[in-house]
Amino acid sequence: MKTLVSVIIPCYNQAEFLEETLLSVFNQVHTYWECLLIDDGSTDNTAEIINEWVKKDNRFHYYKKENGGVSDARNFGIQKANGEFIQFLDADDIISIDKITTSINAIQQHEVAVVCSNYLMFSNSITNTQPPFSQIENFEFNFLNLARYWNNGFTIPIHCWFFKTSLFENIQFPVGLTAQEDWVTWLIIFQNSPKTFYINESLAFYRINPNGRTQTNDFFDETLQAINYCKPFLKETDFQLLYEAVIKRYNSGMLYWRKRQTALKKSNTYQFGLLSKIFFKKIGLLSLSKKLFQYIKSSK
């Protein structure tokens, strides 16, 4: 019996990378899939690229909607999905040709509901990759670790995951959050402790995109929004654990940078610079050097 997989790709002005992303789906060893392309109000040539793929292969399905954000687009895709399994994929990322096959085999062999694989990072080509920014193989996949260590060693790109569709019968991505919406969704899913299997192979490729959402947003404010969103959906004990974990994580970060600042001020380089500043100020050269610097800067 064939196993249908629904690949859900929200698309918003990522036409520059979309061709490569869709090619990675088209080349899958497992051929029984549907690719749901949710155009979330793109203003570039996303529609043109998608339509070419729809003409080329009827497994690609194009849905155009008004812009509602990435969570709204993913939820739309989940509603349209016919597959037994879901593979999420962003429009600038790539999956290996055996990602779906390996994930299905793992689910069937280990009788789990969730599979997660390792990943590599790249900028222009997956022939030139970099190590992942998190070491997910060091953690067990459970609510506690997702709460404590997300953005601190246990951050997982969305296309590393592979889910049974049934997990999303009563769960949606949080509309309204501009980032960390995936983390919120995993927290809600994993409070019910779904059986999960980890594949320590790099089956996903995460693009380092300087214009991507994760490169431009203020994560501290968004983390606060995320945990507040979670409150109605989590048990009181789980929410308390999440809240305390986030506070401790950011407190540790502040202590780390404070120690670095203290160490810098004690360094020979800093002390030499400070003494030089005092010396030049005493002999009257400091204000002169500042004026000279301003003159050079303005003349450029």
Q: Using one digit for the tens of pLDDT, what is the confidence trace for 225-282?
A: 888 888 888 888 888 888 888 777 765 544 444 555 555 556 666 555 556 556 555 5
Q: Regarding beta strands 196-207 and 94-95, do their DSSP bridges make them parallel or antiparallel, or are they unpaired?
A: antiparallel
For 206-275, the three-class secondary structure string (H helix, E strand, C coil) is EECCCCCHHHCCCHHHHHHHHHHHHHHHCCHHHHHHHHHHHHHHHHHHHHHHHHHHHHHHHCHHHHHHHH
CB 165 within 8 A of CB 6: yes
Identify the pLDDT of residue 215.
Answer: 45
Q: In the prediction, which pLDDT does 66 show?
A: 96
pLDDT of 105: 97
CATH class given for the domain over 5-216: alpha beta
pLDDT for 253: 45
Are the beta carbons of 6 and 31 closer than 8 angstroms?
no
Torsion 225-231-233-234 (CA) sign:
positive
The backbone torsions φ and ψ at residue 88, rounded to the nearest 5 degrees and listed phi first, read: -80, 145
Q: How far apart are CA 133 and CA 140, in angstroms?
A: 17
Helix, strand, coil % in the chain, rounded to nearest 5: 50, 20, 30
180: left (phi over 0), alpha (psi -120 to 50) or beta: left
Q: What is the pLDDT of residues 77-101, one digit of tens each?
A: 999 999 999 999 999 999 999 999 9
Give ∠ CA 24-132-217 in degrees, rounded to 5.
Answer: 90
What pLDDT is attached to residue 183? 93
Confidence at residue 256, expressed as pLDDT on a 0 to 100 scale: 40
Q: Please list the rounded mean pLDDT of every run of 10 residues in the chain (300 residues).
A: 92 96 98 98 97 98 96 98 98 98 97 98 91 93 91 92 97 90 95 96 91 55 84 88 78 50 58 57 58 59
Report residue 125 as tokens: 């080509």
Nearest to 87 by CA among 40, 151, 45, 32: 32
Q: What is the pLDDT of residue 216?
A: 44
pTM of the model: 0.81
Residue 93: CB atoms within 10 A of its CB come to: 25
Amino acid 255: pLDDT: 46
